[in-house]
Amino acid sequence: MRMEWIVGCWVLVGIFVGSLCWVSKEMKKKNESQNNKGAKVPKGKLGWPLIGETLDFIACGYTSRPVSFMEKRRSLYGKVFKTNILGTPIIVSTDAEVNKVVLKNHGNTFIPAYPKSVKELLGKFSILQINGSIHKRVHGLIGGFLKSPQFKDRITRDIENSVKLNLARWRHMQSPIYVQDETQKITFEILVKVLMSVGPGEDLNFLKREFEEFIKGLICIPIKLPGTRLYKSLKARERLLKMVGKIVEQKKKAMENNSIQETSPVNDAMDVLLRDGGDQNNETQRLPLDFITGNIIEMMIPGEETVPVAMTLAVKFLSDSPVALDKLRDENMEFKRQKVGSSENYAWTDYLSLPFTQNVISETLRMANIINAIWRKALKDVEIKGYLIPQGWCVLASLTSVHMDEENYENPYQFDPWRWEKLEAAVNYTCSFTPFGGGQRLCPGLELSRLELSIFLHHLVTNYRWVAEKDEIVHFPTVKMKRKLPISVTSTST
């Protein structure tokens, strides 16, 4: 690990020295061009050549106020400003309306733009980076599958079984129980089943182990020398591609042998992508197998990162807010009594119709900011609300800044599920609440994520009580608990 950082630092120094003159010259030319046009480029500073203000940006991610980097510059330059992060001159937007325009663009003005390590790991076929009709097609296929009634019925039962089984193990585990680790076991198992119908066993254990190694490299120094973080993650990706690719081939062969009919029920997302024949329903229109394999791996990210972290933070916030926890428990205990009395099964809509539970989830997502920002690149000069975003520049739409802005939310650093009960919430929060992104790239699994959180919270608060140890949230490179949130659990069910 030490060698990796030494190599990385020396490479950065070398790049810095060698690029100093070139960067200065290019920035001077860009600024002269903008001045000649009379364009209103947002104010701000680019900091040091190449590294810009990256160090300040990273440092704030390890504090209790991760948006302090944004807040400081917003107070100096306004809600939209320019800076240089990770070696890239960017326009940062902390304005909800500007973010909405950037996110809703259909690809003719803005395209996805992410750090080099993300591009390297996810590959050229990544749904995060592809644009146009192919993105729309895949997004629609997955979204349609996740919204189907048959899927909703089946996945509700699967999530319930997984949650109950894993929570039951907590009773026999030695304290403390690390919530972040345990919720990952639940969500990863569920998502892999949704994606390719792989259940508990050696294959699932292999996938989880390799995926943990793979995802560590998403945000890292983009150097592929042996021993570096990116190198290790790329090797893990190769092993994942081999295994997932094997499953894709097996499913494809079964379809060709007619053992699986095109009209038979779809079991998972892999089936959906394999069976789609394109607009003209011929073989040339089908999605390539390596495209399907890479994107199935990418779709595992919510099972390892976003949903389990949201579950963990919900437990933390509720631990720190006993009044909210009591109200949540009361609502879910009443819901449980109704179901026991009627002998009806729990349904997807039952969970999502619990008002205070959904308020707790919304407030958790607002404060957690697991997806803290969206990166885009301008294909041409774009003017939004009087700001000019020059062609070729990256735009960072800061979702965290909007969620933690006092103009949008009163006492934004306070966990307050009751804020969502206000009548004006439906109007005022539509633009300023974007935990799943927005526009055409709105996460197709947003309802599934809410369902997982709802089921987890329901069974947790109706069957267990817990005491959480002191822990802190870390916001860089990704959101997580510093100590994985250790708790002591007591069962309340007989």
Q: Mark residue 228 as left, alpha or beta (left: phi above 0; alpha: psi -120 to 50; beta: remaining).
A: beta
Residue 237's CB is within 10 A of a number of other CB atoms, namely 22
pLDDT of the residue at 155: 95
Detail the residues annotated as belonging to a binding site.
Answer: 443
Residues in the chain: 494
The crossing angle, in degrees rounded to 10, of helices 133-147 and 446-463 is: 30
Q: Classify the C-alpha dihedral 427-359-484-166 as positive or negative.
A: negative
Q: Identify the structural domains of the chain with CATH numbers, from first to last.
A: 38-491 (1.10.630.10)
Q: Classify the C-alpha dihedral 197-203-209-211 as positive or negative.
A: negative
The crossing angle, in degrees rounded to 10, of helices 446-463 and 149-170 is: 40
Evaluate if pTM is beyond 0.85.
yes
pLDDT of the residue at 5: 37
pLDDT of the residue at 190: 95
Detail the residues annotated as belonging to a binding site for heme.
Answer: 443
DSSP element (H, E) containing 33: helix 2-37
Structure-block tokens of residue 201: 């066993």
Q: Which residues are bridge partners to 139 per DSSP?
A: none
Q: Can you say how many angstroms the Cα of residue 453 is from the centroid of all Cα atoms in its chain?
A: 15
CB 80 within 8 A of CB 44: no
Instruction: List, in order, residues 6 or more apart from 229 with CB less than 8 Å away.
Output: 4, 216, 217, 220, 221
pLDDT of the residue at 344: 80
pLDDT of the residue at 302: 81
Q: Parallel, antiparallel, or unpaired for β 177-178 and 110-112?
A: unpaired
- Per-residue pLDDT of the chain (494 residues), as tens digits, is 433 433 344 334 343 434 433 444 444 444 544 444 555 889 999 888 778 888 888 888 777 788 889 999 999 999 999 998 877 788 999 999 999 999 887 668 898 888 778 888 888 888 887 888 888 899 899 999 999 999 999 999 999 999 999 999 998 898 899 999 999 999 999 999 999 999 999 999 999 999 999 988 887 777 889 999 899 999 999 999 999 999 999 999 988 876 555 567 789 999 999 988 765 544 447 899 999 999 999 999 887 788 999 999 999 999 999 999 999 999 999 999 998 878 788 999 999 999 999 999 999 999 988 888 888 999 999 999 999 999 999 999 999 999 999 999 999 999 999 999 874 555 556 778 888 888 778 888 899 999 999 999 999 999 999 999 999 998 877 888 999 999 999 999 75
Q: How far is it, in rounded angstroms, from Cα 278 to Cα 269? A: 16
Helix (H, G, I), strand (E, B) or coil at 46: coil
Q: Can you say how many angstroms the Cα of residue 184 is from the centroid of all Cα atoms in its chain?
A: 14
Instruction: List, in order, residues 6 or more apart from 79 with CB less than 8 Å away.
Output: 93, 94, 95, 98
